[in-house]
Amino acid sequence: MKKINKVVLAFSGGLDTSVILKWLQDTYQCEVVTFTADIGQGEEVEPARAKAKQLGVKEIYIDDLREEFVRDFVFPMFRANTIYEGEYLLGTSIARPLIAKRQIEIAKETGADAVSHGATGKGNDQVRFELGYYALQPDIQVIAPWREWNLTSREKLLQYAEQHNIPVEMKKKTGSPYSMDANLLHISYEGRVLEDPAVEPEELMWRWSVSPEKAPDVPEYLDVEFRCGDVVALNGVELSPARVLEKLNTLGGKNGIGRLDLVENRYVGMKSRGCYETPGGSILLRAHRAMESITLDREVAHLKDDLMPRYAELIYNGYWWSPERRMLQVLIDASQERVNGWVRLKLYKGNITVVGRDSHTDSLFDPNIATFEDDAGAYNQRDAAGFIKLNALRLRIAAKRQR
Amino acid sequence: MKKINKVVLAFSGGLDTSVILKWLQDTYQCEVVTFTADIGQGEEVEPARAKAKQLGVKEIYIDDLREEFVRDFVFPMFRANTIYEGEYLLGTSIARPLIAKRQIEIAKETGADAVSHGATGKGNDQVRFELGYYALQPDIQVIAPWREWNLTSREKLLQYAEQHNIPVEMKKKTGSPYSMDANLLHISYEGRVLEDPAVEPEELMWRWSVSPEKAPDVPEYLDVEFRCGDVVALNGVELSPARVLEKLNTLGGKNGIGRLDLVENRYVGMKSRGCYETPGGSILLRAHRAMESITLDREVAHLKDDLMPRYAELIYNGYWWSPERRMLQVLIDASQERVNGWVRLKLYKGNITVVGRDSHTDSLFDPNIATFEDDAGAYNQRDAAGFIKLNALRLRIAAKRQR
Amino acid sequence: MKKINKVVLAFSGGLDTSVILKWLQDTYQCEVVTFTADIGQGEEVEPARAKAKQLGVKEIYIDDLREEFVRDFVFPMFRANTIYEGEYLLGTSIARPLIAKRQIEIAKETGADAVSHGATGKGNDQVRFELGYYALQPDIQVIAPWREWNLTSREKLLQYAEQHNIPVEMKKKTGSPYSMDANLLHISYEGRVLEDPAVEPEELMWRWSVSPEKAPDVPEYLDVEFRCGDVVALNGVELSPARVLEKLNTLGGKNGIGRLDLVENRYVGMKSRGCYETPGGSILLRAHRAMESITLDREVAHLKDDLMPRYAELIYNGYWWSPERRMLQVLIDASQERVNGWVRLKLYKGNITVVGRDSHTDSLFDPNIATFEDDAGAYNQRDAAGFIKLNALRLRIAAKRQR
Amino acid sequence: MKKINKVVLAFSGGLDTSVILKWLQDTYQCEVVTFTADIGQGEEVEPARAKAKQLGVKEIYIDDLREEFVRDFVFPMFRANTIYEGEYLLGTSIARPLIAKRQIEIAKETGADAVSHGATGKGNDQVRFELGYYALQPDIQVIAPWREWNLTSREKLLQYAEQHNIPVEMKKKTGSPYSMDANLLHISYEGRVLEDPAVEPEELMWRWSVSPEKAPDVPEYLDVEFRCGDVVALNGVELSPARVLEKLNTLGGKNGIGRLDLVENRYVGMKSRGCYETPGGSILLRAHRAMESITLDREVAHLKDDLMPRYAELIYNGYWWSPERRMLQVLIDASQERVNGWVRLKLYKGNITVVGRDSHTDSLFDPNIATFEDDAGAYNQRDAAGFIKLNALRLRIAAKRQR
């Protein structure tokens, strides 16, 4: 076993990471630094301080990372219209690189030689955490307790907690029916009954949004303003990045928007079924595409579309801090300089409908050319004959040879 | 002016193609063969026969191509989860190659040396028709009246019709407010007030679907069965391809599904605003992705996703009959051999929600491995350590060099 | 330690695999089946039989796989003009899947529950072997001695051999200066002085080719005939696939062709320096591209070029038996139907120069259109104006907006 | 016919553009401004001044653009290792955007409302010129005489020259056997006997390089130093971009390097046969790849390789000034920040062999990890087992289902 002096643990304050905290102290005989972040998961972070103290932790970090999360991670990702496997908005994937980065910063500040997280050995999150750690601090030691210990079930975990006087909330004892992850972008559900992809999830599971059936009977209109591809105002009110996403979450959740039920392919090789609520993100994606539709050049848009699945895969697989993701980001960001203007959306019972879009400064939509009416010479229809003739030339040459 | 003996005209029987028919006879002093196809546009095709006769046409072709359209064009396209520019389901694009193919067949049967269509010189359809013509019959003469004549407005068209005793329906005189195109896959609207992309279309415009607001208050469940990537049964009833799409259109339209309002980039270089109703296609796309999610290998799915935008662009731009589209189709079709099983959907006021999917023969979802519970050794969590370590190696080497 | 009954070892008869043979017997107390293949490495395979017998092996497989190797692996790969990282012709990579396949077949025939190979834990070959094993027989046990034992140096290996009475050839004792791999496609050199990429390899290292300096002073012309993208005849003489490659190797080696000195990126994450001789393959690649240049449609050729690096990476990384490689192969093979004709090459002191190419049946080169002379109307130069105008349209619209 | 006041003509001073000059004056009754650039074509540009004066031109521009050409066009292109269709180094393509840019600048300076060039209606150059014009000045008038006049043969051209007292050099009268284009990057040959791709070009055709047979019998070593992906010194001597390319041309030409004979696919739809000499560019490409091989991250290199054919196609097709080319350039340039170091090459009778490469500041080659000897724990071979196991997982799951 490797010798560890001090380890920075990503600590939620919940059962799992509390057990890990104790287990690290006992197993490695090392000091543990806890790090708890508010990334909009919707739970208080301060209680984590008391729990950490109770377990003898001397260095306790509690950070509000919500603005950084949206500004430097969520927004850059949405500039690419990122979707994994045609459906998934990468809500969990995009938070991990930020946690990893902050853990490494704290390790440097506190002189720790190791970091630790509570992700299991089956999922993508371990990869996302650890690729981040290694990319930012190549000699860091990584401890992934789920891959090392033999506490392979909830019962064993509870037993360990009891044996070591780790306080466990009542609700934890009965056990949550799902494995959940939340941040400002989304909340996810996995495990238990969801492990049969043939079965519909129960209505009770969903926490962030009402069902379309329960949503208001009257549509709600929303104006979204973009600057360089990022949302800067909603309904005319300028908002910070985190406030934008919070507001979109509220509007989306209220109108039954953003639920997803899918089977995805994990980087570690298996298929898994997940359910997601991404109310604000779903609105953001639709609005951004509409904004780009009148401000981006066609071939720039197509280049982005061609690269998007690759970019999404990089984020899903945990390569946020890789040089290839950074290269792609440079291209994506450069494309957004002119993505300025506004989009009008109609939200209604799960539907996000684009009903208008314009840009006073950067629209490439030219009604004089596009019109079905007389265009006064703006476009010469006869040009099309030559255009088609030359595009057809290779096809005709081949056809003449009976191909 | 080129010398034409006989021309096959894609003839709808409406004002535009009636004027074209007469104009061709007068301008080229040639015989005209009319070809009218039922591709599910929802209008009677037989009236076209009387109109053609009245205008002196001797060879009149009226074909029901609905099954061929869905089987050989729509279904192959949906195997790729095809979407153009993130939104558009290519409803117009996919019908043109079939029309072009049939026109060329008729030209060969009737000994015609030319073909003609009613598409304008500004749009994509002229390209789609003509690339098809040239690829299938390289020496064919193509007459595109809109690029040649000076009837540049509706008024001039009506005047021409009157002068030449072409019967015009009353409704045509007042003029349709939109330029529309319909087939079994979709109906589209362009022009007039839609030419301002900032303005929401009026509710009256939409013809195929009720609005989500007007849709039933009770969700409807639908079971979709796939064989080799194509839908073969709905709610347990085996249906032919065209019947599948008709049924999906009915279900979608009733439940407020499939409306789209977007700005797209035309192949000829300008942006245009279009509104679309694709009720059945929207359901089909969602269901197909869900079916693939448990039956396709991850990397095959990602390869398809990477190639999809290119494939979509080929179809949008009119290259259905090109060798590169055929190459891609070979790959796509090969991927669908195992896409067998069923998907359960919930349709409700514009929403298509996947609530279950399974395949008795071809599921790659392995609950024993995916489970959050004890997996009895199906997966060794310790393997993940090595997996991460080697994937991180290049990042660590770079980081050690301060990069 | 896992319980093994019988293991099929990829056995060359050399020092390493002889030690592995003995080590497997001792360590796992299991029966060992040896498998030795002639894939054109240029060494006798029969001596392996005696060595295996001497070490008590009862089931000994010695197969001549040269034709299968070229026909089913090398030729399909070259149809894609495959190069890894702009330089490497994948000589080692392409042989591993065949070895893996045959090992699994023998495991099934002999009722073995495990397979083993002599590749180290640092290289790509372990991955290529084992991905093949698992893809073809998912429950097979894999033993990779280099990852398990502690014989971490040549000295320890020789010591082990001596202790266990394993016969070692004299030359092995002194130690080869390089780690080498050979088959009909290439021979490779790694290790020792090559580990400093700043230093030029010594002339003595190269075994298959003379240096350009030593090659004949008179060029040699070669006619290569293709059918469906594969070479079927050289200088008018029909040859089997393996004979084609042998002949090309002879011609190339004699004329100083096919040496390569490069640094490549391994799948396991490090850079390594390798030197390669691929005389026949270098000729084949050049000839195939030339053949395609007049028989392939432009967009098919470009689609192949776009996908080639991905296809190359799959083979380099060991995914020959994956579904995504098979999908790509289907597309590639479909593109080759018309790649028929001949190419004339000039070989001279390291240079492969294409000096002529033609196809009586499938040339898409049309001199009447391409000519700089009067083309008698085969091509209407005025068409180009419209072609350019519409291709420029989006650029002009943007420029008008000062973009 | 459009009304033109003043036109800027790209004027070489040769027969073709002299006839064009006169033809423009006569046909459009407009003033002509001539623009002659030295981009390293190897001919004097000053004689063009006298010819222009003689034909009554008042505004004459003669510019030395060699440094700008290499610095802002050739070098950026080589950062991407750009090759079109696996062979062609884009020597002609890369010069056109610079000419177009300078012509538009001059049009603005002189108040001209039109530009003109001497490219025919069959080739790629017309597209490259005109896409540049339109992208940089959307309302410019473009006159392409070859698409307008009826001087469709050399004889008619000479006759026109004679009738209009245009001085014609003797050599022009006999007629050059090839259509040629030259600049610092290359010289090209097309037309005449080359129009039969089955026939080898005569040795006499080549102008810039000796044949490998005639090259020196002794190899020449060359050290190439890179900074941010561009060559900054040769054999230890710092040189400006144009000087670098000149020197490489001299070295390459002397050693029989850089000849190419190929059939390419033109953007306008036909195949054409061209022969090229690119001595310096061939060396540059090889050296740059070698430099990247030790300084670029694997995935960055692969991303570049995947995008290269698309980038090459953009340049070949004339889209240098398009936003999508600029986007790609941003990505490519960002990747080059660490491409610093040196490469040693051996030049010998047509061969460019890399014999060494190193970077004191940016090498990612780690001999401690790569070594075949004992690595003292730098790499844990056991990690590979987990790496392979998880990469194989999806293949094993599929195989268990007999897929």
Average pLDDT value over all residues in chain B: 95
Please say whether the beta carbons of A76 and A68 come within 8 A.
no
Residues 245-284 of D with CB under 8 A from C: 256, 259, 261-265, 268-273
| Catalytic site residue from A38, A66, A79, A96 | A96
Domain at A180-296+335-358, CATH from 3.90.1260.10, 3.30.70.120, 2.40.50.140, 3.50.50.100: 3.90.1260.10
pLDDT at D67: 98
B372, A268: Cβ pair inside 8 Å? no
**Which CATH architecture does the domain made up of C6-66+94-175 adopt?**
3-Layer(aba) Sandwich (3.40)
Number of Cβ within 10 Å of residue B243's Cβ equals 15
DSSP state of D205: G
Shortest distance between the Cα of B386 and any Cα of chain D, in A, equals 4
Beta pairing partners, C115: C8, C142
For residue D200, with 0-12 CB atoms within 10 Å meaning exposed, 13-18 middle and 19 or more buried, which class applies?
middle
Question: Does C397 contact A299 at a Cβ distance shorter than 8 Å?
Answer: no
Our CA-based measurement puts residue A403 at a distance from the nearest CA of chain D, in whole angstroms, of 16
Sign for the pseudo-dihedral over CA of B65, B68, B72, B76: positive
| Chain C residue with Cα closest to B325 | C300
Give residue for tokens 């010289």. D187
Instruction: Tell which residue, D197, D155, D260, D152, has the closest CA to residue C367.
Output: D197
Q: Can you name the residues that pair with D143 across neighbouring β-strands?
A: D116
- Cβ contact D301–C265 (<8 Å): yes
Beta bridge partners of D18: none
CB within 8 Å of chain A, chain D residues 304-323? 310, 319, 322-323
Considering only CB atoms, B394 lies closest to which of D298, D362, D393, namely D298
Question: What average pLDDT does this structure show over B133-157?
Answer: 93
> What torsion do the CA atoms of A47, A53, A54, A56 make, to the nearest 10 degrees?
150
D195: which chain C residues are within 8 Å (Cβ-Cβ)? 367, 370-372
Provide the token pair at C361.
């049946």
Which residues, in sequence order, are bridge partners of residue B7? Answer: B32, B114
Task: Say if CB D271 and CB C294 are below 8 A apart.
Answer: yes
User: Cα dihedral sign for C6, C10, C16, C18?
Assistant: positive
Distances, alpha carbon A44 to alpha carbons C111, C128, D403, in Å: 60, 49, 49
Catalytic residue at A16? yes
| Interchain contact, D386 vs B382, CB within 8 Å | yes
B335 DSSP 8-state letter: H
pLDDT of A154 reads: 80
Contacts of C358-364 with C-beta under 8 Å, sequence gap 24+, read C358/C294, C358/D197, C358/D198, C359/C291, C359/C294, C359/C295, C362/A401, C362/A403, C362/C295, C362/C338, C363/A401, C363/C294, C363/C295, C364/A394, C364/A397, C364/A398, C364/A401, C364/A403, C364/C294, C364/C295, C364/C296, C364/C297, C364/D271
> DSSP assignment of B246-258, as one string?
HHHHHHHHHTT--
One DSSP character per residue, C123-180 reads SSHHHHHHHHHHHH-TT-EEE-HHHHS---SHHHHHHHHHHTT----HHHHH--SSEE
In angstroms, the CA B131 to CA B317 distance is 9
Q: Which of A169-183, B270-284, C220-234 has the lowest mean pLDDT?
A: A169-183
Assess whether pLDDT exceeds 80 at residue A324: yes
Chain C residues 348-377 within an 8 A CB cutoff of chain A = 362-364, 366, 369
B129 pLDDT more than 70:
yes
Mean pLDDT of B97-101: 98
Q: Per-residue pLDDT for C233 more than 90?
A: yes
Q: Which distant-in-sequence residues (6+ apart) come within 8 Å of D252 by Cβ?
A: D209, D258, D278, D279, D280, D282, D283, D347
Cβ count near D348 (within 10 Å): 25
What is the mean predicted confidence (pLDDT) over B143-149?
96
Report residue C377 CA to chain centroid gap: 48
Contact yes or no for D293/D357 (Cβ under 8 A): yes
Which residue of chain D is at minimal alpha-carbon distance from C134? D396
Cα separations (Å) of C137 from A301, B296, D397? 44, 19, 10
Chain C residue numbers touching A295 (CB-CB < 8 A): none
In degrees to the nearest 10, what's the CA dihedral of B267, B273, B275, B278?
20
Question: What is the share, in percent, of chain C residues with pLDDT greater than 90?
Answer: 89
The DSSP bridge partners found for residue A231 are A226
> Token match 């010129």: residue?
D129
Interface test with A, best of D321, D330, D337 (most A CBs within 10 A): D330
Residue C126 contacts residue C92 (beta carbons within 8 Å)? no
Query: Under an 8 A CB cutoff, do D323 and A268 touch?
Result: no
The one-digit pLDDT tens for each residue of chain D (403 residues) are: 789 999 999 999 999 999 999 999 999 999 999 999 999 999 889 999 999 999 999 999 999 999 999 999 999 999 999 999 999 999 999 999 999 999 999 999 999 999 999 999 999 999 999 999 999 999 999 999 999 998 888 888 899 999 998 887 755 555 667 999 999 999 999 998 999 999 999 999 999 999 999 999 999 999 999 999 999 999 999 999 999 999 999 999 999 999 999 999 999 999 999 999 999 999 999 999 999 999 999 999 999 999 999 999 999 999 999 999 999 999 999 999 999 999 999 999 999 999 999 999 999 999 888 887 778 788 999 999 999 999 999 999 999 987 6
In the numeric block, which tokens belong to residue C190? 């790694």
D42: left (phi over 0), alpha (psi -120 to 50) or beta: left
Quick one: closest CA in B to C266, which residue?
B394
**Cα–Cα dist A180/A125, whole Å:** 13
pLDDT at B174 over 70: no
Which subunits sit against A, judged by 3+ Cβ pairs under 8 A?
A: B, C, D
In this complex, do D261 and C213 lie within 8 Å of one another by their Cβ atoms? no
Q: Does residue A389 have a pLDDT over 90?
A: yes
Chains with 3+ CB–CB pairs under 8 A to D are A, B, C
Q: D398 contacts in B (CB within 8 Å)? A: 297, 364
Does the CB of A50 have a partner CB in chain B at under 8 Å? Answer: no
| Lowest pLDDT segment from B361-375, C84-98, C354-368 | B361-375
Residue A96 pLDDT: 98
Q: Please report which residue ranges of B176-256 form alpha helices under DSSP H.
A: 241-254
In B159-288 the beta strands, taken as DSSP E runs, fall at 179-182, 187-190, 220-227, 230-234, 237-238, 259-265, 271-277
pLDDT band, very low/low/confident/very high, at B172 (cuts 50, 70, 90): low
Residue of D nearest to B391 (CA): D387
Per residue in B319-377, pLDDT (tens digit) is 999 999 999 999 999 999 999 999 999 999 999 999 999 999 999 999 888 887 778 78
The residue ranges of DSSP E strands in D172-242, in sequence order, are 179-182, 187-190, 220-227, 230-234, 237-238
Q: Which residues of C touch A364 (CB under 8 A)?
A: 394, 397-398, 401, 403
Q: Between D86, D122, D321, which is nearest C305 by CB?
A: D86
Q: Does A398 touch chain C (CB under 8 A)?
A: yes
Determine whether the interchain pair D179/C379 forms a contact, defined as Cβ–Cβ distance below 8 Å.
no
The set of catalytic residues of B is 16, 96, 125, 179
Residues in Cβ contact with A308 at an 8 Å cutoff, skipping those fewer than 6 apart: A80, A81, A82, A83
Using a CB-CB distance cutoff of 8 angstroms, which residues of chain C are in contact with residue B266? none
Tell me the Cα Rg of chain A. 25
Taking the C-alpha atoms of residue D274 and residue C225, their distance in angstroms, rounded to an integer, is 22
* Residues of chain B contacting C297 with CB distance shorter than 8 Å: 322-324
The Cα B383–Cα B364 span in angstroms is: 21
pLDDT at C172 over 70: no
Question: What confidence category does residue A258 fall into, taking pLDDT thresholds of 50, 70 and 90?
Answer: very high
Test mutation, A299, A324, A366, A379, chain C, max C CBs within 10 A: A366
Structure tokens at A363: 């629209």
* A393 at D interface, C-beta within 8 A: yes
Structure tokens at A39: 């990334």
Interface test with A, best of B365, B383, B390 (most A CBs within 10 A): B365
Phi and psi torsions of B320, nearest 5°: -55, -40
Q: What angle do CA C187, C193, C197 make, to 5 degrees?
A: 85
CB contact under 8 A, D85 and C301: yes
Residues of C annotated as part of the active site:
16, 96, 125, 179
Query: Which residue, B286, B330, B248, B294, is CA-closest to A86?
Result: B286
Mean of pLDDT values over B117-140: 97
Tens of pLDDT, residue by residue over A83-113, are 999 999 999 999 999 999 999 999 999 999 9
Considering only CB atoms, which chain D residues are within 8 Å of B380? Answer: 386, 389
Q: Where are the domains of chain D?
A: 6-66+94-175, 180-296+335-358, 376-401
Chain D, 77-96: which have a CB under 8 Å from a chain C CB?
81, 85-87
Q: Which residues of A153-219 form beta strands (DSSP E)?
A: 179-182, 187-190
Whether pLDDT at C169 is above 80: no
Q: Identify the CA nearest to B402 among candidates C111, C254, A62, A136.
A: A136
Taking the Cβ of residue B204 and every Cβ of chain D, the question of whether any pair is shorter than 8 Å is answered with no
Q: Which helix (H) or strand (E) holds B352?
A: strand B351-358
One-letter amino acid for residue C320 of the chain? W
Which residues, including other chains, have CB under 8 Å from residue D207's CB and lie 6 or more apart? Answer: D187, D277
Q: How many CB atoms lie within 10 A of CB C189?
A: 24
Query: How is residue B157 written in tokens?
Result: 């068209």
Paired with D274 in beta bridges are D262
Rounded Cα distance between C241 and C71, Å, is 6
Distance from CA of A191 to the nearest CA of B (A): 6
CA distance linking residue D346 with residue C211, whole number of Å: 12
* ipTM (interface predicted TM): 0.96
CA distance D261 to chain A (A): 22
